[in-house]
Structure 1
């Protein structure tokens, strides 16, 4: 006998919670390494180091508080809840739910440069009202543009950054010597993925169709996007609360880690590419003119 849809959803939700713990562990290690590299980085000015460290600490605190709240939420949902898990998961106005929502929204604001701030405030206000549940028109009206702006911002940013790095990658085909080696090492596919925050964008693009058709397969992908807790409620709108959490913090942390390590793409790489390409072009023109002159002499 095939398992019931509710059982499939519960199993997928449990698998998602485990994946979320793994992704938080990855983020914790990256955040620790990033803080150490920033503190030990001597080439950056004190102001830049302080700004990077403050940014990393704020992200870490928000992510950790969300994770703690998510762990407690999972314990109640899967073990302690006296009601159906779907009913419990739909309660938005509890103090635990508000803690998770505030930390989640704050991290998205920081990672997205406060672009979806207005809709985020509206979403928090609506979910904080007594008796608020998923599926309400007001919650959906604020939640949909909030998450859509976040995904759109990251996809556009990824496309622009990756496009710039790919242009540098094409440029190095005309370079020689040390600059070619350095640029080649800093424009690999992995580097482009890291520095353009493609991790978040790719996960979001994969998740959205699964979320739209409301299949339980979406739950593990939701965990990869950032769901410490993924609810088993049948209302598909419920799943969007936990979208995009860990990669939302992992992506900027990876970029900061490369910056603190002194290996991130910056303005000097563009200068090297343009300078050397111009020099190579000039040398190529000179060689071509010399060859034409020699050919005419031989004739």
Structure 2
């Protein structure tokens, strides 16, 4: 009885988390899509981001709608006839919800890999997250096959056996991509600080915030928390599953919002050869302490130098 109450309570918490996150995502997605539609220049990058934004919006909305119907069956219909909820555990609605969940992860992961390509181009280090992504595709297909079998129930051994490696590979893809993106950003940020080159993508915002958003680290953190809860099949996993289901769309949309504003990192930025960046100008050592006036100005030489830098 206690476990049933815990399961119902956590399912209710999951419904609340899902609704809150979808509301936030809806506002963010509308702003992002509108910004991409009205953005001028960089047509190819804009079209890619717009395609991803629209696809994520469709999949996330279908997933949320299926989740709402699922909650209605669990908390309303099942209170009248418990057999209704039992019949839906392996029904079409459950299959639709699980399919949208998995597709959402695939789409979000592929967008993050696109960002890895933008940051790293065709460097050999980018092959690892791509290999992990292919493995997550295979395990995700296996998970959907198992959940689509008659009588399949979320939490049974065969589903856990596919679900655990699927989420593990997805999170591994994100963690690997996060490390690659953040390391590249740190490298460029340090070089830019030592040079006269200024890039709007790395100015005006805390570098830590930029790196967190650009690398979609939010999804990786939530995934790391969720995987062990799913593996042990505890009811506590339900709200974290809803959290992961919302964040998987929010994290890439935050990057697309930066692309719409023109502040996201571009391939042209990643192609800048750091060795060619001019160093910050340093004042030449003077043998005299005499102050040399600047023609037409009462400003001191040091202040003139500060303005030039």
Partner residue in 1 for 2:243: 224
Give me the whole-angstrom Cα distance separating, in 2, the residues matched to 1:58 and 1:33.
15
Q: Given the alignment of the two structures, is residue 263 of structure 1 paired with residue 283 of structure 2, yes or no? A: no
Give me the whole-angstrom Cα distance separating, in 1, the residues matched to 2:3 and 2:257.
43
Range moving further from structure 2, 263-272 or 66-75: 263-272
Give me the whole-angstrom Cα distance separating, in 2, the residues matched to 1:175 and 1:88.
65
Q: 1:133 aligns with which of 143, 153, 160?
A: 153
**TM-score, structure 2 as length reference:** 0.74
Give me the whole-angstrom Cα distance separating, in 1, the residues matched to 2:52 and 2:269.
25
Q: 2:207 aligns with which of 153, 177, 188?
A: 188
Q: 1:275 Cα shift?
A: 5.8
When residues 11 and 68 of structure 1 are mapped into structure 2, their CA distance, relative to the original with a 3 A threshold, is same
Q: 1:71 aligns with which of 49, 64, 68?
A: 68
* Structure 1 consecutive aligned stretches of length 4 or more whose deviation exceeds 6 Å: none
Q: 1:125 Cα shift?
A: 1.8
User: Is this contact kept in 1: 2:195–2:278, CA < 8 A?
Assistant: no
Range moving further from structure 2, 151-160 or 62-71: 151-160
When residues 86 and 163 of structure 1 are mapped into structure 2, their CA distance, relative to the original with a 3 A threshold, is farther
User: Is this contact kept in 1: 2:167–2:227, CA < 8 A?
Assistant: no
Partner residue in 2 for 1:167: 187
When residues 179 and 273 of structure 1 are mapped into structure 2, their CA distance, relative to the original with a 3 A threshold, is farther
> Superposition RMSD on alpha carbons, in Å?
3.0
Cα-to-partner distance string for 1:41-85 (whole Å, 9 max, x where unaligned): 11122x443332222111111110010000010111112112289
Range moving further from structure 2, 245-254 or 117-126: 117-126
Give me the whole-angstrom Cα distance separating, in 2, the residues matched to 1:8 and 1:139.
21
Superposition pairs for residues 1-299 of structure 1, below 5 Å? 4-45=2-43, 47-81=44-78, 82-83=81-82, 87=86, 91-92=89-90, 94-113=91-110, 115=134, 116-176=136-196, 179=198, 183-185=202-204, 188-211=207-230, 217-225=236-244, 245-270=245-270, 274=274, 278-280=277-279
Q: 1:192 Cα shift?
A: 0.9
Partner of 1:59, secondary structure, is helix
**TM-score, structure 1 as length reference:** 0.76
Give me the whole-angstrom Cα distance separating, in 1, the residues matched to 2:86 and 2:224.
29
Range moving further from structure 2, 142-151 or 95-104: 142-151
Give me the whole-angstrom Cα distance separating, in 2, the residues matched to 1:181 and 1:148.
35
When residues 221 and 138 of structure 1 are mapped into structure 2, their CA distance, relative to the original with a 3 A threshold, is closer
Cα-to-partner distance string for 1:104-144 (whole Å, 9 max, x where unaligned): 12112222236322222222222112112234443233222
User: Is this contact kept in 2: 1:258–1:264, CA < 8 A?
Assistant: yes
